[in-house]
Amino acid sequence: MTRPEGRIALACWTPESGLAKLFDVMRPFQPTPPPGLGNQFDWGREDYVRDLLDDHFELEFEELESPLEMDSGEAVWELWVRDYGPTKVLAGSLDDDKREELHRNFVELHERSRVNGGLRVSRTYLLTLGTRR
């Protein structure tokens, strides 16, 4: 709980971000989430945050970007399958054929962001600052 005049700050990926698109690629390879879990990217929507917090906080919003710049889709795959827990665990749980299908889809997604000999994946996030009323 936040005391009166206390501050909160949230930085959440938007539903249109490169991260949301990445999770769309991974979703067919994952178990179905339990009902009612919701969408983790909703916190990157101003209207969603307002619906939940506007009665208790003075809110300010700013959409920002944290781009991922790498040489290739293959380089992105290697980074994420090695260092990002959800991708690493998912890839490790799949049989060889499914893992290779995920690998291809992952690389293809990132190769769509090719610019000037490399990749620049747009990753937008919503910064929410709030002061408790």
Domain ranges of the chain: 7-132
Average model confidence (pLDDT) across the chain: 96
**How far, in Å, CA of 105 to CA of 96, rounded?**
14
Element (H, E) at 129: strand 124-132
Q: What is the pLDDT of residue 1?
A: 84
Pairing of strands 7-13, 57-65: unpaired
Label residue 19 by pLDDT band (50, 70, 90).
very high
Q: Tell me: the pLDDT tens digits for 41-77?
A: 999 999 999 999 999 999 999 999 999 999 999 999 9
Q: What is the pLDDT of residue 110?
A: 97
pLDDT at 98 > cutoff 90: yes
Q: Which two tokens stand for residue 48?
A: 């969603």
**How far, in Å, CA of 86 to CA of 80, rounded?**
9
Backbone angles phi, psi at 52, to 5 degrees: -85, -35
Q: Tell me: the pLDDT tens digits for 72-91?
A: 999 999 999 999 999 999 99
Q: What is the pLDDT of residue 95?
A: 98
Asked if residue 100 lies in contact with residue 108, where contact means CB atoms within 8 angstroms, the answer is no
**How far, in Å, CA of 111 to CA of 105, rounded?**
10
